[in-house]
Each structure stands twice: as C-alpha cells, then as structure tokens.
Amino acid sequence: MDVSFSNKLINLDPKEIIKKEKDNSMDNFFLILGLVYNDLKSLGFYTKILTDYFTDKIPKKDIENNIPSCNLGEFNGMKTHLERLITSCIHEFLIALQGNNTLLNTPQFKTLLEKTDKDTKEIWKQLIDLACGTNLTKKGEEFKKILKNIRNQGTFHYAGMGPKMKQGYTDYFYDFPIKNDLNKYAYFSDGQTMEKIRYFYCDAAMQFALKKDIEDSIKNTEEYYESLLIIMRQINFSISKLLNKYLENKK
C-alpha cells in the first residue's frame, strides 16, 4: 500500500484557536471533536492497511475451506481488535455528545451548525438522537446497547473479561454447530519474538463472545459491523464540516 499524505497544510496562530487566559467550553468541545475525527481516521486507516497487507498472504481457497494458518489467525485477531476499538471510540463520542448537550443547545453552537449544509445538519441530528436516546427505533436502542457492552466488556476492563471470554470459548470450541479445522483445535504460535507469537484461541474466544452479544440483540453480526462503518463515516463527515466552519471563524 503506497500512501502519501500530501494534503494542503494550513497554519493558524495558536492564540486564535485557544486563549490561554480564557476558559471557553465551545473551544474545548471542538478540541474533542478534532481528536475524535483523528482517532476514527487512524482506526479506519489501520483497518485498510491490515486488509491490504494480508490480501496476498491468505489464499482464497484457504478461507473457503477453513484451512488454519498463522496469517489467517493474525488477520482475524487484528481485525477484531480494530473493530472493538472503533466500537469503543464511537461509544465514547456519543457519551461526549450527551455530556455536552447543554453546550450544543446554545445560540453560539446552533449558529455555527446552521452554516453547514443540509446533509451535515441531518446527520448531526441523528447522532444527537442516538447519543441522547431520543426517537430511537428498537434497532437503534439495541445498537447503542451493543456499543456499550463491547466498550465495557470487550475492549477495556480486562479484569472482568474472563467469564465472557470463557463463554465465547465454549461457544466456538464446544458448541458451535459447524465443526471444521479452525475449531477442531485451540491454536497458538510460538517463537522467540513478539512477531512470531500469538494466542489465536484467545482471539477466537473474544470474537465469539462479541458475536453472541451482537446476535442476541440485532441477530446479524455482518449487519452490525456494516452499520458501525456507516456511523464512523457519518461522524467524521459531520465533524469535518463543523470544524471547517469553526476554524473559518478563527481566521
């Protein structure tokens, strides 16, 4: 993957964005928005790098025939980890929106939002509704619940993950209705360096723990991850439009 970040570099006097001697909640909030944008962009980029890196390293026939390999295990484990991180980042962004709801209803913010295009305003309203639990469909409520569960029990707080991972482990290695070479054995790789070592069965335990969470709610794991990527793009689309108007006022 050949990537060059040769975008136009714009500079502003730091004092124009943040006044050291003045605490401005609007300015502070836009620092958060910029970081959320950057974090989601990074995670999206890492996902693409991962996919591109393994594209020619895992034969299609191996995937179709469930043939285990270190490359397949590394890809699935890393991909699941990135999906957990994206889920958690989106969850925390929604918490930030909810926690700043008073600011978002100020004339100052509403005036800025009004300067954006129709699509941005509509997407932003949907995100606020999701964050605050307003006008949610049953599927929306379940989606938000999954975000919280994965963030709290599938990404962070390792101390409490044991029982959940054990359930995922037994679901996959004991009770999964389809038996093949991938769940016939619990795999790991050994060596003298971090590059060579991975405990694939632990990735599988977490992957199937998350699968249960998702399918207990919206029944379809692929549908959840597709929705996750759509929301990630919507968040960054709306943030970039808002930040564009915010920074225009700072010039």
* Domain extents in the chain: 23-248
163 pLDDT tier (thresholds 50, 70, 90):
very high
178: pLDDT strictly greater than 90: no
99 pLDDT tier (thresholds 50, 70, 90):
very high
Higher pLDDT, 214 or 235: 235
28: pLDDT strictly greater than 80: yes
pLDDT recorded at residue 64:
87
pLDDT of 117-129, one tens digit each? 999 999 999 999 9
Measured CA to CA, the distance from residue 132 to residue 135 in angstroms comes to 9
44: pLDDT strictly greater than 90: yes
- The whole-number average pLDDT for the span 125-149 is 87
pLDDT recorded at residue 223:
85
- The whole-number average pLDDT for the span 28-37 is 97
- The whole-number average pLDDT for the span 232-237 is 96
pLDDT recorded at residue 6:
76
Per-position DSSP letters for 8-69, written without gaps between them? PP----HHHH--TT---HHHHHHHHHHHHHHHHHHHHHHHHHHHHHHTTTS-HHHHHTT---
- The whole-number average pLDDT for the span 56-74 is 92
pLDDT of 186-231, one tens digit each? 999 999 999 999 999 999 999 999 998 888 877 688 888 888 999 9
The answer to whether residues 247 and 11 touch, using CB atoms and an 8 Å cutoff, is no
Mean of all residue pLDDT scores within the chain: 92
Measured CA to CA, the distance from residue 211 to residue 209 in angstroms comes to 5
The region of weakest confidence among 43-47, 141-145, 164-168 is 141-145
The region of weakest confidence among 116-120, 142-146, 168-172 is 142-146
2: pLDDT strictly greater than 80: no
Half-sphere exposure (Cβ direction) of 65: Cα atoms closer than 13 Å? 7
146: pLDDT strictly greater than 90: no
The answer to whether residues 169 and 207 touch, using CB atoms and an 8 Å cutoff, is no
pLDDT recorded at residue 34:
97
pLDDT recorded at residue 1:
58
pLDDT recorded at residue 3:
67
